[in-house]
Amino acid sequence: MKQIEPIATGATKVTSKQMEFVTVTVAGQLLGLPISRVHDVFVVSEMTTVPLAPGEIAGLLNLRGRVVTAVSLRRRLGLGDSTSVERRMAVGLENHGEAYGLLVDEVGEVLKLDPDEMQPNPVHMDRGWVGLSQGVHQLHDKLLIVLDVDAVLAFETEREAA
Partner 1 sequence: MDDLLLEFLTETNEHLETVDVEMVRFEQDPNNEAILSNIFRLVHTIKGTCGFLGLPRLEALAHAAETLMGKFRDGMPVTTPAVSLILATLDRIKEILGELERQGAEPEGSDGDLIEMLDKMASQEAPAPEPFVPAPSPQSSGQLVYQVLERELKPGEVSLDELERAFQEAPGPEKASTSGTLTYQVLERPLKPGEVSLDELERAFREAPGPAPLVIDKPAASAPKAEAAAPQRPAQASKKNSDASDAGEGAEGIAGKVQTIRVNVDTLEHLMTMVSELVLTRNQLLEIARRSSDDHGYKVPLQRLSQVTAELQDGVMKTRMQPIGNAWQKLPRVVRDLSNELSKKIELVMQGADTELDRQVLEVIKDPLTHMVRNSADHGIESPADRKAAGKPEKGTIRLNAYHEGGSITIEISDDGKGLNFAAIRKKAVERGIAGDSEVERMSDAQVAKFIFHPGFSTAAKVTSVSGRGVGMDVVKTNIELIGGTVDIRSEQGRGTTFTIKIPLTLAIVAALIVASKDQRFAIPQVAVSELVRVSPSSEHSIERINGTPILRLRDRLLPIVPLSKVMGLSGNEDVNNGFVVVTQVAHQRFGILVDGVFHTEEIVVKPMSSKLRHIQLFSGNTILGDGAVVLIIDPNGLARMVGSGADSNEFQSDAGLEQTIAAADELTSLLVFRGGGESLKAVPLSLVTRLEEIDASTIEWSSGRPVVQYRGRLMPLVSCDDELAIKRQGMQSLLVFSDGEVSMGLAVAEIVDIVEDKLDVELLAERSDLVGSAVVRGRTTEIVNIAHYLPMVLETWARKDRRGGPDKSLLLVDSSTFFRDMLVPVLKASGYRVQTAATAQEAVRLLSNGLQVDVIVTDLELSGHSGFALVASLRADPHHSSTPVIGMTVKPDAQQIALARKLRISEIVSKIDRRGLLSALAELNASLEEAA
* 118 CB burial (10 A radius; 0-12, 13-18, 19+): middle
Find, among 90, 94, 93, 92, the residue nearest to 104 by Cα. Answer: 90
Q: Is 119 in the site for partner 1 (CB under 8 A)?
A: no
**What residues between 125 and 154 interact with partner 1 by CB under 8 A?**
none
Taking the complex as a whole, how short is the minimal distance between the CB of residue 62 and partner 1, in angstroms? Answer: 5
Classify 75 as helix, strand or coil: helix
**What residues between 52 and 91 interact with partner 1 by CB under 8 A?**
52-54, 57, 59-62, 65, 67, 69, 71
Do 32 and 145 meet the contact criterion of CB atoms below 8 Å apart? yes
Query: What number of chain residues touch partner 1 (CB under 8 A)?
Result: 24
Chain positions contacting partner 1, by CB under 8 A: 46-54, 57, 59-62, 65, 67, 69, 71, 96, 98, 100, 155-156, 160
